[in-house]
Amino acid sequence: MRRAGRIFDHTGSVRIPASHCGLYGLKPTYGLVPYTGIMSSEFNVDHAGPITADVANNALLLEAIAGPDGIDTRLATPNPKISRYTKALGGDVSDLTIGVLEEGFGQPNAMLEIDETVRHAAGYFAELGAGIESVSIPWHRDAMCVWLGFGREGYYSNMMLGNGFGTNHGGLYLPSLSDRIAQWRSHANELPHNLRVAMLMGEYVRTTTNGHYYGKARNLVRRLREAYDDALARYDLLLLPTVIRTAQPLPPRDASPEAVIGNALTNTENTCPFDLTHHPAISIPCGMVDGCPVGLMLVAKHWDESTIYRAAAAFERSVDWRSLERPKKRSRKRG
């Protein structure tokens, strides 16, 4: 398989680099791909998924890695719904209805050019025959706060105090890797500023609230998931920008802690909600802004990766995403 890889998505680490690099990155449904042997950040958001140069290889790689391995207890069910995802690649989108998620646009600090590019790309799905409608899910704007509510404490307890594997799960433990991770304690001054502030926040919340806000945040995830499920009962897919800003230069070595922390926390507003709710989501390239690729995200019902691949493949073969110019005669709009 050419130019493909499996990456881990807890806040957007599959979809964000795919968006920035003009690649295809899928975060699958939670429990579809085993997490055995991978260091965990927080058990509730552990996802492994493929990043590839095209849709076909993405679907093929998912076929290779999906399914239970008999070890990983993160799998939500002993029998996850596995499909031959490559069979979906030749289908059209004429029977699909796509909801354009309005709260995914106009985010604070978002680049207007990205919003415009993704909306323009959505129009091409309409030209391919899909029904395109606007949908509002106010909960989407609150998802980042929910993620921070449990993420800081959960990540710190599991990744740092638990040395990447934590306790109380039945999966595979790698003692040698835990030993290696535990060595951060002897050179904590070398940790990046963004990790340090996350650890300080995690320790503060853990010792002052006794898990109170972690529990409240976890409870709110159910309401967040229900909000997306309600929309996905009416639409086959949701559509929104993957990230709100193009790729930015890395801060220089002498950058202030504020600059490093700000750079690390940006661009997760639209990706982290679906790590919490476990819906499958893909980033596909849909245009360029200032010479940088722009990603469009498609979100589906749990276990419905095939519909994601069908829509992504139809867009890929019909649109030159670098210029958003179709290489062949355009189809008529439905209706």
At 145-201, the pLDDT tens digits run 888 877 778 878 888 888 888 887 778 888 998 898 889 888 888 888 878 888 888
Q: Is 276 helix (H, G, I), strand (E, B) or coil?
A: helix
Residue 97: its H or E element: strand 97-101
Name the pLDDT band for 308 (thresholds 50, 70, 90). Answer: very high
Give the confidence band of 334 by pLDDT, cuts at 50, 70, 90.
very low
Give the pLDDT band of residue 2 (cuts 50, 70, 90). Answer: very low
Tokens of 223: 């309401």
Per-residue pLDDT, 174: 87
Q: Within a domain: residue 101?
A: yes
Average pLDDT value for the chain: 88
Query: Rounded mean pLDDT of 77-103?
Result: 91
Structural domain includes residue 107: yes
Q: Express each pLDDT in 53-69 by its tens digit.
A: 999 999 999 999 999 88
Q: Is residue 335 part of a domain?
A: no
What global pTM score does this model have? 0.91
Tally of domains within the chain: 1
Least confident piece of the model among 104-113, 127-136, 178-187, 216-225: 178-187
237, 297 contact by CB (below 8 A): no
Is 195 within the bounds of a domain? yes
Does 323 reside within a domain? no
Rounded mean pLDDT, 212-220: 91
Domain membership of residue 129 (yes or no) is: yes
pLDDT of residue 328: 46
Residue 119 lies in a domain: yes
150, 292, 324, 333 from 96: Cα distances, Å: 35, 30, 21, 13
> What is the DSSP pairing of strand 131-135 with strand 97-101?
parallel
Per-residue pLDDT at 197: 82
**pLDDT tens across 3-41, in order?**
555 577 888 989 999 999 999 999 999 989 998 888 888
Domain CATH number, residue 312: 3.90.1300.10
The pLDDT of residue 299 is above 70: yes
Q: How many residues does the chain have?
A: 335
Average pLDDT over residues 224-250: 95
Q: What is the DSSP string of 14-78?
A: THHHHHHHT-EEEEPPTTSS--TTSPPS-GGG--EEEEESSHHHHHHHHHHH-S--SS-TT-SSS
Local confidence band at 279 (pLDDT 50, 70, 90 cut-offs): very high
Residue 331 confidence (pLDDT): 39
- The answer to whether position 170 is within a domain reads yes
DSSP letter (8 states) at residue 85: G
Torsion sign (Cα): 222, 224, 226, 228 = negative
Cα separation, 121 vs 257, whole angstroms: 37
Q: 225, 137 in Cβ contact below 8 A? A: no
How confident is the model at residue 5, as a pLDDT? 53
Average pLDDT of 62-81?
81
Do residues 98 and 132 touch, judged by C-beta distance below 8 A?
yes
255: containing domain? 4-318
